[in-house]
Structures are given as structure tokens and as C-alpha cells.
Chains A and B, each alone.
Chain A
């Protein structure tokens, strides 16, 4: 059990560029979650997968955001046409049942 891995750890991008983050959950976990955390705040829910199916999406997930989990393993979160307001820590978590999340170390995005 190597935990939840996220890549990259840090990303600096220019406004208007597209970025993609990757999350590798704990191997036996069938549930995967994405959260966003801005400075000084608690994390906010973005989306949830059970296996490869995306079952919940927050209203925070605008049309510029898309998440996938092909084959129910790793997941990617893409942000198109980044804006300065997208600067945040993007956290991935996984679990094998409802509850009992394990979080990754996050990807810190800075849009300049």
C-alpha cells in the first residue's frame, strides 16, 4: 500500500493554458474523489467516481473542468483555459467503502 499518489506536486501555468493532473488511488479502493482547497479554507468537494462511473459533480466544477477515471484505476482532472481563480490545491482521495477517505499530498496549481 503506497497510499494515494498525485502528480505533479506543483504546477505553474499561464492564464489561458490547459492543465491536467493525475491521481493514482490505493489499488484496492474503488471510490475516488477530487477536492479543491484555496488558501486558508477547508477543502471543497468537486467530484466522485465509483469505479469508472462519475456519480457526483459539484456546481464548483464548471464547464472548463473535466475529470475521468478510465478503467476505474487512475483519474485525471483537466482544467481548460485556466483563470487566476483556479489557483488552489487540488486534492485526490480514495476509499473502498463509503467513508474512511485517504488523501493524497495534492497538486498545488498557480495561475499567473
Chain B
């Protein structure tokens, strides 16, 4: 099946710093989603992004499907950004997600 790899696995930032999280996938995909899992385990949708670039406040994401990667940018990080960021890709039918291993982010005040 498709493989999804995320880097870096762990990231520690000082509040206010910027960061880029990367997601590589092994095969062509129809769609991709970024999630933030908060300390209570809730998976929060960030972006549903098959290709191109989307922005939402301090977060933006870019997917280059032809090159099989996606990037999540976090600018001016805040302590509330801490948690685990997952990239997940959809199968062709759109009914199954394969998740990467996540990037564990800690933002220090």
C-alpha cells in the first residue's frame, strides 16, 4: 500500500518562530489532508488540499502532487500550536486515509 512519511518527527520551537513540516508519499494520490491532534486526542482538520496552496491565518499548506509531497507552514508559532501534526492521503475511492507517523511539535513560551 501507499507509504506516507513525515519529517521531522519531533520539533521544538520558541514562541514566535516559523516552521515547515514535510509530508512525502510513495504513490500518486487523489487528495491529502493535514490534521492537528491536540493534547486531548482530538484530530482537528487543518487543510484538505489535493494540490496548490491554501492559507488559514498563520497556517498555510502546499501540495505538489506530481512530486508527491506536501508542506505545512506555521508562522509566528504560539504555545497553543503544540501537539502532533498528521498528514494523511486518501485512496482513489476517497474512503480510506493512510496517515503518516506525525510531527510532534512543542512550542515553548
Binding site for B on A (CB under 8 A): 31, 33, 35, 41-45, 48, 50, 55-56, 89, 91, 93, 97-103, 105-106, 108
Q: Would A43 and B93 be within 8 Å (CB), given that A99-B31, A99-B33, A99-B48 are in contact?
A: no
Complex: A35 Cα to B35 Cα, angstroms:
14
A–B Cβ pairs within 8 angstroms, 15 of them: A33-B96, A33-B97, A42-B88, A42-B99, A45-B96, A48-B96, A55-B95, A98-B94, A99-B30, A100-B45, A100-B48, A101-B45, A103-B45, A105-B40, A105-B42
Check B25 for interface membership: any CB of A closer than 8 A: no
Check B12 for interface membership: any CB of A closer than 8 A: no
Interface residues on B, range: 20 to 34
Q: Distance (Å) between the CB of B6 and the closest chain A CB?
A: 8
Check B64 for interface membership: any CB of A closer than 8 A: no
**Contact yes or no, A31 B95, CB < 8 A:** yes
Closest 3 CB pairs of A and B: A98-B94, A42-B99, A103-B43
Give B40-54 as 1s and 0s: 1 = Cβ < 8 Å from A's Cβ atoms: 111101001000000
Binding site for A on B (CB under 8 A): 4, 30-31, 33, 35, 40-43, 45, 48, 86, 88, 90, 93-102
Complex: A50 Cα to B108 Cα, angstroms:
43
**Contact yes or no, B95 A33, CB < 8 A:** yes
A43 — which chain B residues lie within 8 A by C-beta?
Answer: 43, 86, 88, 97, 99
**Contact yes or no, B86 A42, CB < 8 A:** yes
B95 — which chain A residues lie within 8 A by C-beta?
Answer: 31, 33, 48, 50, 55-56, 98
Complex: A101 Cα to B48 Cα, angstroms:
9
A91 — which chain B residues lie within 8 A by C-beta?
Answer: 43
**Contact yes or no, B42 A103, CB < 8 A:** yes
Select which of A56, A89, A97, A106 is within 8 A of B96 by beta carbon.
A56
B35 — which chain A residues lie within 8 A by C-beta?
Answer: 103
**Contact yes or no, A45 B98, CB < 8 A:** yes
Question: Which residue of B is nearest A108, CB measured?
Answer: B41
Select which of A45, A50, A89, A105 is within 8 A of B97 by beta carbon.
A45
